[in-house]
């Protein structure tokens, strides 16, 4: 009976984890398959595979939404923000290093080596937040030629008129703009998972 209960629990856990994975990956699947469809096909068959894998929709999105230029400005803003974040943190750490108090020695010899993965996690999360930020660029930049990705995607709605939504442009643009963040996570996922587990699990 105990063995049957363990198998049932494992099976239920597997179903729950599969559901969570599907829920997480569904937006990526939705973006990918609809990036190769026209407006009518997206509306008529949003979840199915495209009739043809036509790259022209992605090219049109890059050209009409000025995606490469927006990607460059977003990258510059993200790097500059992270540079300021790291610089301010390093200056604060330098002050602690200069201090001869026992607290500073404990921090850098004991505490900091234990939270390296957590620090990487904080950097990744800040990168994602800055990359996807809409409000601050909207307040600072507005509708100018130096728009970030979020602003370009917002103003792209005007390409279809007042009551339209140019999904054949917006969805491929969203997919392309998501690629750098996805690659960053895949490259640093080991540190990210380690940082999250270090902060949640006590040894």
For range 50-62, the mean pLDDT: 88
Provide the percentage of residues in the chain whose pLDDT is more than 70.
Answer: 74
For range 42-52, the mean pLDDT: 89
Distance separating alpha carbons of residues 73 and 133, to the nearest angstrom: 13
Burial (CB count within 10 angstroms: exposed 0-12, middle 13-18, buried 19+), residue 13: exposed
Higher pLDDT, 46 or 91: 46
pLDDT of residue 162: 57
Q: Per-residue pLDDT tens for 79-101?
A: 888 888 877 776 676 666 666 66
Provide the percentage of residues in the chain whose pLDDT is more than 90.
Answer: 9
Boundaries of every domain in the chain:
35-200
For range 155-163, the mean pLDDT: 66
For range 145-161, the mean pLDDT: 77
The whole-model pTM stands at 0.72
**Contact of 179 with 172, CB cutoff 8 Å:** no
pLDDT, averaged across the chain:
80
pLDDT tier, 115 (very low <50, low <70, confident <90, very high otherwise): low
CA angle 190, 193, 196 (to 5 degrees): 145
pLDDT tier, 137 (very low <50, low <70, confident <90, very high otherwise): confident
192 has pLDDT over 90: no
What's the full length of the chain, in residues?
Answer: 203
pLDDT of residue 16: 92
pLDDT of residue 135: 84
Q: Tell me if residue 118 falls in helix, strand or coil.
A: helix
């Amino acid at each position: 009976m105990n063995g049957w209960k363990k198998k049932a629990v494992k099976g239920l856990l597997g179903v729950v984890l599969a559901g969570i994975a599907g829920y997480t990956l569904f937006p990526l699947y939705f973006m990918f398959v609809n990036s190769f469809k026209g407006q009518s096909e997206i509306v008529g068959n949003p979840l199915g595979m495209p009739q043809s894998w036509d790259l022209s929709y992605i090219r049109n999105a890059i050209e009409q939404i000025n995606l490469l230029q927006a990607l460059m400005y977003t990258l510059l803003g993200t790097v500059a923000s992270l540079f300021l974040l790291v610089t301010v943190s390093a200056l604060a750490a330098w002050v602690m290093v200069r201090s001869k108090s026992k607290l500073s020695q404990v921090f850098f010899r004991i505490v900091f080596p234990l939270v390296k993965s957590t620090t990487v996690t904080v950097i990744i999360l800040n990168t994602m937040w800055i990359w996807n930020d809409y409000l601050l660029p909207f307040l600072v930049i507005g509708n100018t030629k130096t728009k970030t990705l979020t602003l370009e995607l917002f103003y792209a709605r005007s390409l279809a008129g007042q009551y339209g939504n140019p999904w054949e442009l917006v969805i491929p643009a969203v997919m392309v703009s998501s690629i750098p963040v996805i690659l960053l996570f895949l490259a640093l996922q080991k540190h990210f998972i380690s940082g999250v587990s270090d902060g949640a699990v006590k040894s």
